[in-house]
Structure 1
Amino acid sequence: MTVRADDKTAERFQPAAHVAPDTFANKLLFNGRMLADFQLKTIHRHLKRFLPGVTGTIVDVGAGQSPFKHLLHKKAARYVALDIYTADDFGYRNPDVVQFDGQSIPFDANSVDAVLCTEVLEHVENAQALVNEMHRIAKPGAPVVITVPWSARYHYIPHDYHRFTPSRLANMFAGFSSVRVQPRGTDLTAIASKMIVAYLRLLKPRYRFLLPLTLLFALAFAPMLAVAVLVGHASVHLGIGSPDDPLGYTVWAKK
């Protein structure tokens, strides 16, 4: 299928790319975004348990603008950002990135101490081949941590190919010595996230002449948005809701 800019499936709402909190302004943006971006919040929450303890070389596959690099111990870890040749086309500007074709990772077998891959596999047509490459480059016993969305809109159209169940993820990582699939958030987190996205769309209507009307709706529904944000945070921190329909999943694997 060829997707044109005027197709009904074309992406009309696309949040800005995540930025690394490497300046004061970016720290404010990053932390402010986590107040309402539960995909970012839940990923950050999980990676805070992992990245500070990494030592040696870690490869971030599909690094984008390296939004989680700051969680690493600066002296203990050597961070390598890896992304596709056309990453700039998706709004990513990372001068330190190592470029590759999206399939064959340009590192020797058994050469890296850890692998990270956040919200990338859904954009890879042959995701299993990329998982196999992560396994190949990791040293024996090295941790490989990936995140994927579950409840997420069709995005980066047309390069959005998959939504992975825990069963499928377990099969994909079957070649590793251990694998655990952990949900990120619950169904209440997903509902809150959907409500926030729907609200933000009111602020950017498809037709500009509708803006006054959508702003009135936005004002009227502001209290409901505040409730959604509170419910979202409660579901993340207290585990309220069902984990069977979460925002996404984190795979904790070890070669």
Structure 2
Amino acid sequence: MVMRIIKSLLTRILGLNKPLAVGTKNESTRVDWIRGNLARIPKGARILDAGAGEQQFRKFCGHLTYVSQDFAQYDPKEYNSGLQMAAWDYGKLDIVSDIAAIPEPDHSFDAVMCTEVFEHIVNPREAISEFSRLVKPGGYLLITAPFCSLTHFAPYHYYTGFNRFFYEKELGAKGFDILDIQANGNFFEYVAQEVRRIGHIASLYSKDGLTQKEMIAANVLLTALQRFSDKDTRSFELLNFGLHVFAQKKNDRHEI
């Protein structure tokens, strides 16, 4: 009874009954960015979805000639470590191959899309070289990858993430101009995402859970993180969910 009264008072005083979005928009922001930039690619263009997985973005490519590729080896039941999907279905892939050795001729695509894949590739630089080979001059490259991430899709998880300086250096070296690079979220958003994950991770690894007091404390912290995020200027430089990159192959460049 006492705890319920305290919780009720704290809720009113601290505004904990207000919905808090902080730390919840990682995926939705990324999906919206991908949808918007796919729409910029001219109708009829041939696009390669490299590391397509379950081909979740095929639905945004109705105006394009869509080709899916993956190595098709991930099985969530194979390895009991880190965060795994409950189930996984590649569906019908057009190409099954190493991402750094795709059996297509030079300059055979108008665009390449590679979303949330780089952390699962032993050598992402090789993949960028392959994309440069495959994309026509003036064609487009769309990449998203984590800036920081927990272990997932084990054993195929090799990096926690990529900074903007990686893209600026490697894409420039392989003949791409970056047209747009966006940080998804910021320091406070990322911390909030992990605060929201504490209960689940505790149940997995500690066989324990948050007490009522701890849940109140977590909500107080999320309230502060929401305020900080609302006032944020450039904390994405320190930490963010991931970077979204839209680039164009040099030579015969045309704007869209």
TM-score, reference length from structure 1: 0.71
99, 103, 106: which one pairs with 2:100? 103
Q: Secondary structure of the residue that 1:58 maps to in structure 2?
A: strand
2:241 corresponds to 1:242 = no
In 2, distance between residues paired with 1:230 and 1:109? Answer: 48
Once the two structures are TM-superposed, the CA of residue 143 in structure 1 deviates from its matched residue by 0.8
Amino acid at match of 2:243: Y
Secondary structure, counterpart of 1:135 in structure 2: helix
1:226 is displaced (CA, Å) by 6.6
Bigger Cα Rg: 2
- Report if the CA contact (8 A) 1:187-1:242 is conserved: yes
CA contact (8 A) 1:176 1:253 kept: no
CA RMSD of aligned residues (A): 2.9
Deviation at 1:77, TM superposition (A): 0.9
Q: CA deviation at 1:47?
A: 1.1
Q: Is the 8 A contact 2:185 2:241 kept in 1?
A: yes
C-alpha separation between the residues in 2 aligned to 1:135 and 1:189?
Answer: 33
Which amino acid in structure 1 is aligned with residue 175 of structure 2?
Answer: F
Whole-Å separation in 2 of the counterparts to 1:43 and 1:139: 25
Q: Aligned runs of 1:167-206 on 2, under 5 Å? A: 167-174=165-172, 175-179=174-178, 180-202=180-202, 204-206=203-205
Question: Are the counterparts in 2 of residues 186 and 241 from structure 1 also a CA contact under 8 Å?
Answer: yes
- Distance in 2 between residues matched to 1:130 and 1:218, nearest whole Å: 44
Structure 2 residue runs of 5 or longer lacking an equivalent are 1-20, 77-84, 250-256
Indicate how the Cα distance of structure 1 residues 239 and 112 shifts in structure 2: closer, same or farther if over 3 A, else same: farther
Report the CA distance shift for 1:69/1:130 in structure 2 as closer, same or farther (over 3 A). Answer: same
CA distance in 2, matches of 1:157, 1:228: 34
Which structure has the higher relative contact order (CA within 8 Å, separation 6+)?
2
Cα distance in structure 2, aligned partners of 1:142 and 1:219:
50
Q: CA-to-partner distance for each residue in 1:176-231, whole Å, 9 max, x for gaps?
A: 241253312211221121112223324x34355x3xx5464675457448748966
CA 1:58–1:228: 2 relative to 1, 3 Å:
farther
Summarize the Cα distance change of 1:205–1:123 in structure 2 as closer, same or farther, 3 Å threshold.
closer
List runs of 5+ in structure 1 lacking aligned partners: 1-33
Distance (whole Å) between structure 1 residues aligned to residue 122 and residue 213 of structure 2: 39
Q: Give the aligned partner of residue 17 of structure 1.
A: none
Q: Tell me, in whole angstroms, the C-alpha distance in 2 between the residues paired with 1:192 and 1:158.
A: 27
Query: Offset of 1:148 from its aligned partner?
Result: 1.2
> Could you say what secondary structure the match of 1:48 adopts?
helix
> Helix, strand or coil for the counterpart of 1:141?
strand
**1:48-197 to 2 correspondence within 5 Å?**
48-54=35-41, 55=43, 56-72=45-61, 74=62, 76-89=63-76, 91-97=87-93, 98-162=95-159, 163-174=161-172, 175-179=174-178, 180-197=180-197
Residue type matched to 1:169 in 2? Y
Cα displacement (A) at 1:144: 0.2
Q: How far did 1:138 drift?
A: 0.9
Q: Relative to 1, partners in 2 of residues 1:85 and 1:66: Cα closer, same or farther, differing over 3 Å?
A: closer
Q: Which residue of 2 aligns with 1:9?
A: none
Specify the alignment match of 1:254 in structure 2.
248
Taking the aligned partners of 1:222 and 1:88, their CA distance within structure 2 comes to 34
Query: Is the 1:149–1:248 contact (alpha carbons within 8 Å) kept by the matching residues of 2?
Result: yes
